[in-house]
Amino acid sequence: MTHVRFVLDWAGMFQTYKHVHFVGIGGIGMSALAKWFLHEGVKVSGSDLHLSTVTHDLETRGAKIYSGHAGANLAESVDLLIYSPAVPDTNLERVAARERGIPERTNFEVLGEISKSFSTIVVSGTNGKSTTTAMLGLMLEAAGYDPTVLVGSFVPGFKDGNFRHGGGRFFVVEGCEYRANMLQFHPEMIILTNIEEDHLDYYRGLAHIQETFQIFVDKLKGQGMVVVNADDPGSAVLKVNRPVTYGASRPNTTYAFSERKTAMGSQTIRTNVGELELQIPGEFNVYNALAAMSAALELGVPFETCRRILKDFRGIWRRFERVGVWKGADIITDYGHHPSAIKQTIEAAREFFPGRRIVLCYQPHQHDRTKKLFDEFIETLPLADHLILAEIYDVAGRNKEHDVSSGDLVEAILKNDPGKDVRYAQDLPAAEFHLREIVQPGDVILVMGAGDIDEVARKLI
């Protein structure tokens, strides 16, 4: 398939876009889409409140990057504005676009249109999307399918990091469930990792999330297949045509692991199609691997190719990423911000580093999530031996009420366990200060959260 220039059909007419401007271009998903347009020969510009290595990388690829938002950032040649769903309609650049009659679309609306031109595989669910997407993309690449892949992380082996530009018919992409964004896609295959309560600033509860995913999988009736986690209770309520299931129970799944052995630095899984070796820890990564392999096998990828890719897979950026050693302690940075993801990561650290102290430095993501999952957080966070809670990362445009603090989590944890070593950090420098006080040689430091807490891990090393 040749993609010299992409033509989008909106408002009843076709238009070929020559200059696309991104509001919030530094986001991991936005930057991947920006790279897609750059590969298509389209001029790209964009703005972000915080310049970073991501925006610098885009500059080196030819994008024009602005620090901060202003109407003047929109050049005369801009004929499409793409914005993150978190950017409000009062944003200065969005206002300027409307005044000039420039079309505005979210990144997911654009990805949805792109998906019409491919055999699209959408990886969706609460946890595991990026790792599963990366694994599957690498499997399809190794099998010679030359896929196009967009990932919400950086993948070693992809020269563009969070993006792979391919000439084949497959498009592998993450389908974020926030605001039902996955419904924008036109998939031929869906991989569903799990369903839990999250994004409760949009959804009314778990039932609403499940209803939305039912609408999503219904898009495939009679013309595609859903690869679904048979062990996930949240997914069990869905009615799926032609399911391809994976899980721990051989009689009820297509691909199952019957035995799992772990050793320092790796884990071995016996499946009904052959033995797998993973270099990344945690039962959740076993499920990610089974999801990717199940999809790949359905698409004709040989098992030996899947096995080789999984054996060589060392993980992706901010997904149990070992970034170095500091004061004799291993530092791991992880994007996880849901209570279940935190629990799984702590368990994986104990499995990977048996007998060592776990120091968790966590930054909650969004006030609304922290408030509505408060009880789950105070149950999960103390699973670490020592705990530092940085103040909540506020995502602009997501939450209006700020009536909960990380300090409230600290108080609740101490109420349940007065002897627990849990400390509040009002900002990142304070979090670093506490780490310098706590950490001893041999510790394992988990730096977790979807905000800017990753900066602490990078700074320490």
Q: Do 143 and 96 fall into the same domain? A: no
438 belongs to a structural domain: yes
What ranges make up the beta strands (E) of 234-354?
243-247, 255-263, 266-271, 274-278, 321-326, 329-334
Q: Do 178 and 44 fall into the same domain? A: no
Residues 6+ apart with CB under 8 A from 76: none
What share of the chain in percent tops pLDDT 70? 92
- Among residues 64, 88, 107, the one where a domain terminates is 107
Q: Do 25 and 146 fall into the same domain? A: no
112 belongs to a structural domain: no
Alpha helices in 143-260 (DSSP H): 206-218
Q: Do 99 and 128 fall into the same domain? A: no
Question: Average pLDDT, stretch 182-208?
Answer: 94
Model pLDDT for residues 308-321, shown as the tens digit of each residue: 999 999 988 888 89
345 belongs to a structural domain: yes
Q: Do 275 and 303 fall into the same domain? A: yes
Query: 3-class DSSP state for residue 38?
Result: helix
Q: Which token pair is 87?
A: 């950017």
Question: Average pLDDT, stretch 177-198?
Answer: 95
Specify the amino acid at residue 58.
Answer: L
Q: Do 122 and 271 fall into the same domain? A: yes
- Confidence label for 257 from pLDDT (cuts 50, 70 and 90): low
- The order of strands in the sheet holding 329-334 is 321-326, 329-334, 444-448, 358-362, 386-390, 422-425
113 belongs to a structural domain: no
Residue 332 confidence (pLDDT) above 80: yes
Give the global pTM: 0.85
- Among residues 312, 345, 366, the one where a domain terminates is 312
Model pLDDT for residues 12-56, shown as the tens digit of each residue: 333 489 999 999 999 999 999 999 999 999 999 999 998 988 999
Return mean pLDDT, the chain.
91
1 belongs to a structural domain: no
For residue 161, what are the domain limits?
A: 118-312
pLDDT score at 85: 86
Model pLDDT for residues 351-383, shown as the tens digit of each residue: 889 999 999 999 999 898 899 899 999 999 999
Q: What is the CATH number of the domain that holds 387?
A: 3.90.190.20
- The order of strands in the sheet holding 104-106 is 64-67, 43-48, 19-23, 80-83, 104-106
Specify the amino acid at residue 418.
Answer: P
Model pLDDT for residues 422-456, shown as the tens digit of each residue: 999 999 999 999 999 999 999 999 999 988 899 99
Residue 10 confidence (pLDDT) above 50: no
Q: Do 225 and 143 fall into the same domain? A: yes
Rounded Cα distance between 311 and 307, Å, is 6
- Confidence label for 5 from pLDDT (cuts 50, 70 and 90): very low
